[in-house]
Structure 1
């Protein structure tokens, strides 16, 4: 998905702390590129807000009363046309992050991220990118390896030079449109490359592909 430059990204924000929601709303809407069209204090409220407002992106806290963020994420990503979903988390919730990764979340952001980084993350998600806060990646990779959930990927060597370029840009959170501009390709061609990369690596989404790339640290 690619929105016109003059159309703000429509966002639903779900967190059970009203002050945090208010603060994030002010930060995200400050320069006019993001519009918070709905808020929710729990998972059920999130699903209702997404149904009513049809946002481009949803930012979801994982720990909420009643229906928690993971349950809402599981339900939301089963819909035919869900928004891009990023998980809002803190450093002490690694287990929730790994579960959200398996469910198919497209982004993982820390609640104390810099305002510019949050806005850029929302814009990248709306454009189809995958977003991983570097601090989450640094904590998540050892945990996934230790739990046996992330192993050396034997298929990296099967990627062509161009596919490796595409993977490197996916790992940086770039959307198809940005990759196309960077490599001088059409978006349709980039979409095909991305699909091939995911298939060759045996992963389900861009975030998992990004983790594979970060695991080897560019040594491929």
Structure 2
């Protein structure tokens, strides 16, 4: 394990905790992610309680969490974890059949939803993007989420909120909705990372979004109505 005594990463690798009750799946994901040379799985957890313990011990940059686990489930653990001021970036690992936990996880502040059968390069890129402050949402999940969240009155509010943004704020929102980190948005728009952080904060406030994934979904719903 390439971590220091307090769980700090060695060689600039992203520190990751995997939480899933299927040991075989955890092992497979670990091999896949660590093969990139840019990710170090510092701990594995089989339930929510083990996840919280692992996060406290290793201070990871990112956690990937299966919601449906025995004992303390992933959703309960995420509620506790995301409420912490020093919480790592968190993404839900799920199967294609989404459950009702999605909206709740968004409210907690989860930054991403990934399918367990995603291509290896997609999973690796997603972990790196999460560590850099981005949001990740598998397109197949988006296709399932939007119909559930598509309520006419809510869509109209989303359109009005997006229209209230300045041109620059809309540019930031568009890149944010693509999952870009603050650094990547800055590179695209020729802005400093600090300036982008300020824009993102303003965009979230104007949209009434608690996090980047919520902002991305608002943007996609609004586009579906406004074109």
Specify the TM-score bucket, using the shorter chain as the normaliser.
over 0.9
- C-alpha RMSD over aligned residues: 1.7
SS in 2 for 1:13: strand
Indicate which of 199, 202, 205 corresponds to 1:199: 205
2:14 aligned partner? 9
Alignment deviations for residues 1-43 of structure 1 (CA, whole Å, 9 cap, x no partner):
xxx9x51100000000001000000110112110000000000
Number of residue pairs matched? 215
| Cα deviation, residue 155, structure 1 | 1.3
**Which residue in 1 is equivalent to 2:57?**
52
Structure 2 residue 137 is the aligned partner of structure 1 residue 132: yes
1:217 alignment partner in structure 2: 223
Distance 1:116 1:183 in 2: 26
Give 2:32's aligned residue. Answer: 27
Residue range with higher mean Cα deviation, 28-37 or 86-95 = 86-95
Q: Please point out which of 127, 146, 150 is paired with 1:141.
A: 146
Query: C-alpha displacement at 1:150, in angstroms?
Result: 4.8
2:196 counterpart residue number: 190
Q: State yes or no: 1:181 paired with 2:187.
A: yes
With normalisation by structure 2, the TM-score equals: 0.91
1:41-190 map, 5 Å: 41-145=46-150, 150-152=154-156, 153=158, 154-190=160-196
- Unmatched 5+ stretches in structure 2: 1-8
CA distance in 2 between partners of 1:36 and 1:213 (Å): 33
Is contact 1:47-1:76 (8 Å) kept?
yes
TM-score, normalising length: structure 1: 0.93
